[in-house]
Amino acid sequence: MLKIDHLTKHYKETVAINDLDFEVMPGVVTGFLGPNGSGKSTTMRIILGLDHPTKGRATIDGKSYENLKSPLHEVGALLDAKAVHPGRTARNHLRALASSNRIKKSRVDEVLEFVGIASVADKKVGGFSLGMSQRLGIAAALLGDPPVLLFDEPVNGLDPEGIRWIREFFGSLAKEGRTVFVSSHLMSEMALTAEQIIVIGRGSLITQGSVDDLTATAQGSVLVRASDVTTLTKALEAQKAIVQVANDRALTVSGLTSDQVGETAFRAGITVYELTPQRASLEEVFMDLTADSVEYGTSMPGAMPRE
Amino acid sequence: MSSNQTLVNVVKSEWIKFRTVRSSVMGVIVFFVLTLGLGGLISWAIRSHWSHSSVSDRLTFDPVSTSLAGIIFAQFAVGVIGVLFITSEYSSGSIRTTLTAVSNRLRLISAKTIVLAVTLIVVSEVVCFATFELGQSIFKGVVPTASLGTLDVLRSVLLAGAYLTLLTIAGFALGLIVRHSAACISIFVSILLIVPIIFAFLPQSWQNSYSKYLPSELGRSMMSPFPPAYHLGAWNASLILLVYVIVVYVVGVILMIRRDA
């Protein structure tokens, strides 16, 4: 089990992480979400003992990373796929990692085969595409067959086939009872990959829970297509609903259930052609949650500064 | 659960890393070629001009340090080997992968130091004895030669190898502190090449009293059978160079352990 215990990290003046506190349980894929610059990578780096926290600590089964007796057997990590010496071959890179943790040479061939880069194992890593580097990074994480796995933005650079492969792969790792912690800035990706989700923004925890819980708590809306949208809008607004025009014949209504919308239309004598409850997508939930904490947000879609 | 990681495992791993990148292999080859090539060339030039050389030149001629002259150039090659062994990890970012596999930083630095020191002492001693013998065989018959049977000559050649090994470790330690390849190599070259030039502009009495403490002059003392004028004895010089290297090394290790990777 991975435990983040009131973690705070300052880089000179900037606060990268502020009193972050959560646990990641084994047996499920846990998504770690936040906009760019929200502190995901910093958290990962602290878990791996690369950066020293200003306050608090991160532990793996109660131990901090520096105190692991045989790190690759306890935690596997993919941080930055390109963080490999470009002049070394994939096989030699893995062999060096393996021998530092008493892992057999045959295991290197096994993981190369498993991630599908065995055919380029003796090529220099410098010539690898991002997708191939990602696979090499995953191979490195798997070397020690660890019970805890961390992946920072693993789908970057993968082709659709690779993305599907990695999703199924994460699922199977979790089913084996491992702790799988995957960061991403794409909610849509996590909705398909993760069961549990931890959302952070500006270095603080925003929310955590299962994917289903998160979408359930989000406010849904109702799409209604009717004969007289102008009258219907007035009637709905009288009931404190928020009404948006979807197109000339349809409205998106939030703050009321579909039943209430239907009854309101009936009382106003309006014919309803369509009445569809719309569940907020996880993407929308995420946007709502992190709207205040986007560090490099654009002001308005398509609003280019003009001279 | 699998067995615990030991220093031996990490040394094996670092040895694989050392010999599987071109920079270190090329560095060792350049080191060989420079030392033997230049040593041979300079020895040959001395031999062919011996009949024209002055009496004072003949009297002060030292067959040992002349045959080892290539080391003046080779010291930069070994410095670069030491620097790149750690800075390439930072420039490529692979230090983060390395530290996830070896989370005990002191163990990692120890392993890297062992690989570097053992490789370089072996290679350096082989190179130094080879260039010495090459020089003597070129001198033979025309120019006075030296023999390893003389204790001070043997000591000079042995300490020449030690000098190069210490410089490699100094380069590595500097790399731990500076972390950028180019900046680190510049500093290394400046200390060995530029600082002595600056010293040459100082008043003569200062030069006489202080320039002997420069790393490059300590090296000269170490690899001469008798100390040059205004220089320290070989063993004192070795000791002082060792202290310099230890100081830089300790600073490097402390920074490496305390800083974020």
Say if residues A77 and A133 touch (Cβ distance below 8 Å): no
Interface of A with B in 30-59 (CB under 8 A): 45, 48-52
Nearest CA in chain B to A48: B100
Interface of A with B in 112-151 (CB under 8 A): 140, 144
Place of tokens 């320290």: B232
Given pLDDT bands bounded at 50, 70 and 90, which one contains residue B1? Answer: very low
A258 pLDDT above the threshold of 90: no
What is the interface pTM, i.e. ipTM, of the complex?
Answer: 0.88
Partner residue facing A87 (CB), from B1, B4, B23: B23
Question: Under an 8 A CB cutoff, do B13 and A99 touch?
Answer: yes
Q: Give the C-alpha separation, A269 to A228, whole Å.
A: 9
Higher pLDDT, B85 or A299: B85
Question: Under an 8 A CB cutoff, do A100 and B10 touch?
Answer: yes
- The residue extents of the domains of chain B are 3-258
A43 pLDDT above the threshold of 80: yes
Which DSSP string corresponds to B128-197?
A: HHHHHHHHHHHHTTTS----TTSHHHHHHHHHHHHHHHHHHHHHHHHHHHH--HHHHHHHHHIIIIIHHH
B178 pLDDT above the threshold of 80: yes
Given this model, what pLDDT does residue A305 score? 55
Given this model, what pLDDT does residue A156 score? 81
> What would the pLDDT profile of A166-204 be if each residue is shown by its tens digit?
999 999 999 999 999 999 888 778 888 899 999 998 899
Residue B85 one-letter amino acid: F
Say if residues A205 and A239 touch (Cβ distance below 8 Å): no
Given this model, what pLDDT does residue A297 score? 57
Say if residues B35 and B73 touch (Cβ distance below 8 Å): yes
Q: Which two tokens stand for residue A27?
A: 């047996």
Given this model, what pLDDT does residue B194 score? 92
Q: Which two tokens stand for residue A79?
A: 């941080």
A41 pLDDT above the threshold of 80: yes
Q: Which of A14-18, A245-249, B78-82, B157-161 comes out lowest in average pLDDT?
A: A245-249
Rounded to an integer, the average pLDDT of B1-25 is 89
Encode A60-84: b = buried (16+ Cβ within 10 Å), e = exposed.
Answer: beeebbeebbbbbbbbbbbbbbbbb
Question: Under an 8 A CB cutoff, do A102 and B2 touch?
Answer: yes
Distances from the Cα of A189 to the Cα of A77, A174, A193, angstroms? 19, 17, 6
Q: Which of A6-15, A247-256, B237-246 comes out lowest in average pLDDT?
A: A247-256
Q: Is A304 on the interface with B (CB under 8 A)?
A: no
Given this model, what pLDDT does residue B163 score? 97
Rounded to an integer, the average pLDDT of B53-58 is 88
> What would the pLDDT profile of B73-115 be if each residue is shown by its tens digit?
899 999 999 999 999 999 999 999 999 999 999 999 999 999 9
Chain B residues bordering chain A (beta-carbon distance below 8 Å): 1-5, 9-10, 12-14, 16-17, 20-23, 88-89, 92-97, 99-105, 258, 260-261
Nearest CA in chain A to B15: A96
Average pLDDT, chain A: 88
> What would the pLDDT profile of A69-80 be if each residue is shown by its tens digit?
999 999 999 998
Nearest to B19 by CA among B122, B164, B102: B122
**pTM value?**
0.86
Rounded to an integer, the average pLDDT of A105-112 is 96
Given this model, what pLDDT does residue A217 score? 67
Rounded to an integer, the average pLDDT of A157-171 is 89
Given pLDDT bands bounded at 50, 70 and 90, which one contains residue A125? Answer: very high
Given this model, what pLDDT does residue A295 score? 57
Question: Under an 8 A CB cutoff, do A70 and B2 touch?
Answer: yes
Q: Which chain A positions have a beta carbon within 8 Å of B2's beta carbon?
A: 70, 73, 101-102, 144
Q: Which chain B positions have a beta carbon within 8 Å of A98's beta carbon?
A: 13
Question: Under an 8 A CB cutoff, do A52 and B13 touch?
Answer: no
Q: Which of A21-25, A123-127, A288-292 comes out lowest in average pLDDT?
A: A288-292
Given this model, what pLDDT does residue A3 score? 95
Given pLDDT bands bounded at 50, 70 and 90, which one contains residue A96? Answer: very high
